[in-house]
């Protein structure tokens, strides 16, 4: 079930910010808009290098590499006529997994470690075909 909350309080220039929710509902009801879904990553399936020019941009207002994050202007100015070079590259899109480094001292020895948490995968209900994110955490060597 799709929550009743609307995303229309978020204002994107030239983009109906409620459209993703409407498209998910329509697809769940068997009326998928092929053109919308085919332009999620790349507008009209165009080439143009590694740039993400599709509607997915509205889901990533901040992009960057490492600790340097910048505002994704394409998220606010997205239109169906994006050109190559207008969007971020895949390595600028956040991974959905947070990492925090720490040092563990045990028996006088120090080990560089990290906490990880966030999206680790997805599961699909075999009856309804609904997809749900899998959230997890871990402690790992750095």
Domain housing 70:
1-93
Together in a domain, 28 and 43: yes
CA distances from 54 to 35, 51, 60, 136 (A): 11, 9, 12, 28
- Residue-wise pLDDT for 34-58, tens only, equals 888 888 888 766 677 788 888 888 7
CA distance 21 to 2: 8
- Residue-wise pLDDT for 45-101, tens only, equals 667 778 888 888 878 888 887 777 888 877 776 666 666 667 888 888 888 888 999
86 — alpha (psi -120 to 50), left (phi > 0) or beta?
alpha
Together in a domain, 135 and 81: no
- Provide the whole-model pTM: 0.57
Count of the separate structural domains present in the chain: 2
Asked if 35 contacts 72 with a C-beta cutoff of 8 angstroms, the reply is: no
Together in a domain, 88 and 108: no
Together in a domain, 54 and 112: no
Lookup: tokens for 31 = 């009326």
């Amino acid at each position: 079930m799709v929550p009743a909350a609307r995303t229309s309080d978020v204002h994107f220039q030239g983009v109906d910010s409620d459209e993703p929710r409407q498209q998910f509902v329509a697809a769940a009801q068997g009326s998928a808009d092929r053109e919308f879904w085919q332009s999620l990553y790349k507008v009209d399936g165009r080439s143009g290098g590694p740039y993400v020019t599709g509607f997915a941009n509205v889901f990533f207002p901040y992009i960057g590499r490492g600790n340097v994050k910048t505002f994704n202007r394409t998220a606010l100015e997205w239109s169906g006529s994006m050109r190559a070079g207008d969007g971020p590259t895949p390595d600028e899109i956040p991974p959905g997994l947070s990492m925090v480094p720490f040092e563990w001292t045990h028996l006088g020895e120090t080990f560089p470690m990290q906490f990880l948490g966030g999206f680790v995968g997805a599961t699909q209900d075999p009856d309804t075909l609904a997809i749900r994110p899998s959230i997890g955490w871990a402690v790992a060597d750095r």
